[in-house]
């Protein structure tokens, strides 16, 4: 039987889930506003982290941190479910890993030839979805 982390750590990890959502929203709103010809309504958030974008490294970093926060909060979040907690924790964790990979591997800009990193990015986002 596994032991739950201390209450304070569990609460901090759950707060990470909330922070991850705020981080992702702020990234899209703020960096999207600062990126020329980017539309929050019609462009994917992946475009903010594509090569050639003015703040691509910052966007990739934010996406990777988002994934790490989701991974950290997966277990405590699943504790609030009556059945199949471990399965749910693994699914949420896998989603976080997909977010982390998508943040590290940038997607190419539309119309550019697809690189290996871009293909990894697309596969991670599909798996996470």
pLDDT tens for 83-118 read 888 888 899 999 999 999 999 999 999 889 999 999
pLDDT of residue 62: 96
Q: What angle do CA 62, 121, 13 make, to 5 degrees?
A: 40
Q: Is 3 helix (H, G, I), strand (E, B) or coil?
A: coil
Token pair listed for 94: 């896998």
| Number of CB atoms found within 10 A of residue 87's CB | 11
CB 47 within 8 A of CB 53: yes
pTM score of the predicted model:
0.84
Q: How far apart are CA 58 and CA 74, in angstroms?
A: 24
């Amino acid at each position: 039987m596994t032991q739950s982390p201390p209450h304070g750590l569990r609460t901090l990890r759950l707060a990470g889930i909330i922070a991850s959502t705020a981080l992702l929203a702020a990234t899209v709103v703020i960096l999207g506003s600062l990126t020329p010809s980017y539309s929050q309504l019609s462009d994917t958030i992946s475009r903010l982290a594509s090569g050639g974008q003015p703040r691509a490294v910052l966007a990739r970093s934010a996406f990777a941190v988002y994934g790490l926060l989701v991974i950290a909060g997966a277990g405590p979040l699943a504790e609030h479910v009556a059945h199949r907690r471990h399965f749910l924790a693994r699914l949420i964790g896998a989603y976080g890993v997909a977010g982390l990979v998508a943040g590290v591997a940038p997607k190419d800009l539309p119309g550019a030839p697809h690189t290996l990193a871009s293909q990894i990015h697309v596969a991670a986002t599909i798996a996470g979805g």
